[in-house]
Amino acid sequence: MAYFKIIDKGEGINRLFIGGVHGKEGLSTLNALQKIQDSDVDEGKLVIHNCDTSPYRSTLDTQYYESKVGKEVLCLINHYNPQIYVEAHCYRKENYHKLTSPERWDEKGVPPLIDLGEGVLIGSASPNIRTTLFTRNDVCITLEMPCNPSKDSLNVYLDVLRIMAGSSSRDEVEKKMRKNYPSQVERASRYAQEFFGNYPPF
């Protein structure tokens, strides 16, 4: 299930996609990450890594980053210093409402994830890393799809991955995301202002 690929198109920004960061999510995220091709990147570098199965611990838990896979995530971020970071996840369908409920503010201390369509959810990566390892202008997202996704869910998931892979700046990411998902980006911006203050939505 472990998978590693580097697409290097020379000068430009660094991008890092990491899938399967806990539990058995990598069984689903692998299928999506393997579909990203060299042609999806115009310039710069994209590093793709899918993790092996590991014990489940939420990335919202600071102790996650003391685990073997958590240290692996930190090592990859610190080594490649990405300006665009995507943490690829999947979720069990019965957990959809927990992830998207406004009550997530109170229960988990973070904003709810936002549905882009077909059950594909987007939000900021864990604040444990967003505010410590990345700059304000970096793109740093969590992307979720149902585990064992339908074809339609996988297509939405891949659309976002390809936007991230093919963009060379934060402004370019936002422009493309606003074109495809305008209302969702507006909500993400509002959540970001409420949670991060001056931090941007992605």
**pLDDT at residue 44, rounded to an integer:** 98
CA distance 20 to 119: 18
pLDDT of residue 2: 87
Place of tokens 């996704």: 149
d(CA 97, CA 173): 27
Asked if residue 53 has pLDDT above 90, the reply is: yes
Instruction: Give the domain extent around 135.
Output: 3-196
pLDDT in tens, 64-123: 999 999 999 999 999 999 999 999 999 999 999 999 999 999 999 999 999 999 999 999
Predicted model pTM: 0.95
The C-alpha atoms of residue 197 and residue 130 are separated, in whole angstroms, by 13
According to the model, what pLDDT value does residue 75 have? 97
Q: Nearest Cα to 17, choosing from 77, 72, 68?
A: 77
Question: Is residue 201 included in any domain, yes or no?
Answer: no
Kindly indicate the confidence band of residue 138, based on its pLDDT and cuts at 50, 70 and 90: very high
Task: Give the pLDDT band of residue 198 (cuts 50, 70, 90).
Answer: low
Least confident of 74-83, 173-182, 183-192: 183-192
**pLDDT tens track for 26-37:** 999 999 999 999
Is 202 among the domain residues? no
Calculate what percentage of the chain has a pLDDT beyond 70: 97
Give the number of domains in the chain.
1
The per-residue pLDDT for 199 is: 55
Range 2-27 average pLDDT: 96
Task: Write down the H helix ranges in the chain.
Answer: 26-33, 68-80, 96-100, 104-108, 127-133, 151-166, 170-180, 182-196
Instruction: Tell whether 158 is covered by a domain.
Output: yes
In this predicted structure, the answer to whether residue 202 has a pLDDT above a threshold of 90 is: no
